[in-house]
Structure 1
Amino acid sequence: MLLSKVLFALVTLLTFSLPAFAYQEINVQNGGTIQGNTKMIGEMPFPRHYHLILFPNIDMCAEVDVDDEMNRVLDDFKISPDGGLKDVVITLQHVEAGKPFNKEPILITSENCKFFPDVNVIRQGETFKVDNLDAVMHNSQVYQKERGKILLNIPIPAEEVSDGIVKFKKKYKIMQMICGMHEFMQTWGYRIQNPYYFITNLDGNFKIGAIPPGEYVVNAWHYLMKSQQRKIKIVAGETIDLKFVFDADRVTRPFYETIKSGRIKKDAVYPGTAKGRELGR
C-alpha cells in the first residue's frame, strides 16, 4: 500500500512538473508555405478618444495623435485603401517541431506618451524591454487580457530602459500593457509557442514558410476582434493561399478600461490626423 502511494505521488509530481508542450528545432527541407491577406469589411470602426485634460503632462502628450479638442485619438484599425488590415497576428498551431525560432528581442519604445509598436508576439517567460524617450516617468501595468488580471507592474523612469518578464497563467495568450498615468498609452502582445507567425503589414499581407508537412490550425488575431481559425494540410513544397475577413460591426473593447463617457465619438473620426484629412474630416 505504501509503495503504491509513493508511486502515485511520483507520477503526479512528474505529470504536473513537466511542460505540456516543448517545441523542437529541426532542419526543415522542402517545407510548405502559407500566404494570404487579412481584410476588414464595413465602415471603419470609430476610434477611441481620451481627454488629455484628465491626464498629466498635457503639453508633451499633445505632440502626436491629437484632435482639435485636445483628445488623444487611438488608431486601433490601420486599413489600406483596398481594405487590408494591419497588425493581425497570424500563428500556426499544433507545430511540435520545425525551423529555429531566431526571434528578435522585444523592444517597446515610449515617446510623446505613446508606446510603439502597437503589437508584439511574446514567448512564455520572455523578457522584454521598454525604452522611455520621454522626460517623465511612466508606470505601466501588464494585463492578462482574457481575465483583466494584472500580471506585473513596470516602473519606467524618465529617459531610461526598463525590462519585465511576462508569465501567462495557464493557457492564456493575450497581454496588454497600459500606462497607469496615461491610459491611452497601450500596447498588446500575443503568446506564441513556435516560430511560425507573422504580423500583417500595411496591406494586410502575410507569408510563413518552411512548414513541415502535416495538419495544422491557422489562427488570425487582432486585439479588438474575435480570432478566426482555419484548418489546413501542408504538403511538401506546396503553397496554400488564405484570406481572413473581419467584420467592422464586431469590434470588442477591453472591459477594464476606466473612462467611458465620450470615448467613442461618431462625429469625430480621426479629426486633425492624417486619416482625418484623408477622409475630409
Structure 2
Amino acid sequence: MFLYEWRRASRLACVAAIVFAVLCSLTPASAYEVMDVPHGGSLEGTVVLDGPVPEPKGFNLITFPDPAYCGRISNGRGWRLLRDFVVSPQGGLKDAIVLLEGVEAGKPFETSVPLIEARDCQFQPFMTIVRNGHAVEVVNMDPVMHDIQGYETSLEAGARVLFNTPLVMNHEHHRGDLHATHNHAPGKSLVGPIYLNKGRRTFYMQCGFHAYMESWAMAVNNPYYALTDANGRFSIDQIPPGTYQMVVWHPQTGPGTTKMVTIQPGGKLVEHLSLPAPKGNRSAYKVMDNPRFGPESLGYSIDIYPLVEHQQ
C-alpha cells in the first residue's frame, strides 16, 4: 500500500510544497536488507522505441488557461505541446524504467526524496522513481496557479482519484516576464494521508487547469533500477548473483515487457531491449492548423513566444 502524506514543511523555498509519503503493500515479501556484495555483477544496455515516434499531444489556447505564459511550451501557432516521448536519432527511448524484481538483499537503498517541479507549465521530471514508504515533493516554480490531481493506476482496475488540491502560484516569479528566472518563495504545505489500493505501484499526476502537465512515478522495493537517459541507455551495478525478473516499462507504451535474466558473479550482462510505439490516435488532443484555435481566436492581441521549444 502506498501512503502519500502531505506534510507541513518549515519555510520551504517555494510558494507551495506537497509531500506524498508512499507506502506500498504488494505480494507478501520480506523487507529489503543491506549487505555487502563482494562479487556483484552488472546489467547495462539500451531501450529503443519500436516504431514511429508519436507526435506530441496538442492543447489549444481556447480550452486551457494561461495562453501567454504557457505559450512558452507551444509551437507558436496556438498549441501547447506535451512531449511524452523523447527519442534519440538512433531510436533510444528516454524515461523508460528498467528494474529487477526479487532482489531481497544487496547494496544500500538510496532514501533521498525526489523533487518534481511545476516549471514552464510542465512537470519535471516526467518520470520519477520512489521507494516504498518514502516521499515525493512537488513545488510550483510558475507565476500561475496549478491544480494538482493525483491518481493511482493499474491495467486491471484503471485509475482512481487520490486527491485534488491547488498549488498556489509562485509570486516571486514575475508573470509578465517570459525570460524571468524561477525563484523559490516561502509558503505553506497541506497535510493529508492518501492510500493506494493493494497491488498498485504507479502514481499519475496531472494539473486540472493545464492538462498538458503530466508526471508519472513508480514505487520500487529495491535499489536495482535505472531510468534510461536521452540515448536510451541504462546501467545497474552491484547486483547479487542470481536469477531475477527484469521489468522494462514506459508510461506511454502499454504494459511493458518482462524477461528472466541471470547475473553471474562479477559478470556484466548487456541487454538491448525495445518497447512498442503506440499505434493510431493516442488521444483527442492533436495539433492541427485551425484558425479557431490560433492566437487570433482569443479576440485580443497576445505575445506568445515558444521559449522552451526554441531551447530544445
What's 2:272 paired with? 243
Gaps of 5+ in 1: 1-15, 254-259
Q: Secondary structure at the match of 1:145?
A: strand
What's 1:256 paired with? none
User: Partners in 1 of 2:164 and 2:308 — Cα distance?
Assistant: 34
User: Partners in 2 of 1:35 and 1:217 — Cα distance?
Assistant: 15
Q: Secondary structure at the match of 1:243?
A: strand
Root mean square deviation of aligned Cα = 2.8
Residues 177 and 186, structure 1, Cα contact 8 Å, conserved in 2: yes
What's 1:112 paired with? 120
Higher helix share: 1
Q: Could you tell me which of 122, 127, 132 is aligned with 2:130? A: 122
Q: Could you tell me which of 209, 228, 250 is aligned with 1:200? A: 228
Q: Which amino acid aligns with 1:156?
A: L
TM-score, normalisation: structure 1: 0.80
Matches within 5 A, 1:72-221: 72-146=80-154, 147-159=158-170, 160=187, 162=189, 167-221=195-249
Residues 138 and 180, structure 1, Cα contact 8 Å, conserved in 2: yes
User: Partners in 1 of 2:310 and 2:71 — Cα distance?
Assistant: 17
Residues 41 and 240, structure 2, Cα contact 8 Å, conserved in 1: yes
Q: How far has the Cα of 1:62 moved from its partner?
A: 0.8
Work out which structure has the larger RCO, using CA pairs closer than 8 Å and 6 or more positions apart in sequence. Answer: 2
User: Partners in 2 of 1:179 and 1:78 — Cα distance?
Assistant: 21
User: Partners in 1 of 2:261 and 2:281 — Cα distance?
Assistant: 27
Task: Give the % identical residues.
Answer: 32
Residues 127 and 163, structure 1, Cα contact 8 Å, conserved in 2: no
Q: Secondary structure at the match of 2:62?
A: helix
Q: How far has the Cα of 1:77 moved from its partner?
A: 1.1
Would the alpha carbon gap of residues 123 and 78 (structure 1) be closer, same or farther in structure 2, given more than 3 Å must change? same
Aligned length: 251
206-215 vs 241-250, which moves further: 241-250
What's 1:51 paired with? 60
What's 1:61 paired with? 70
Residues 129 and 163, structure 1, Cα contact 8 Å, conserved in 2: no
Q: Secondary structure at the match of 1:139?
A: strand
Residues 127 and 166, structure 1, Cα contact 8 Å, conserved in 2: no
Gaps of 5+ in 2: 1-24, 171-186, 291-305
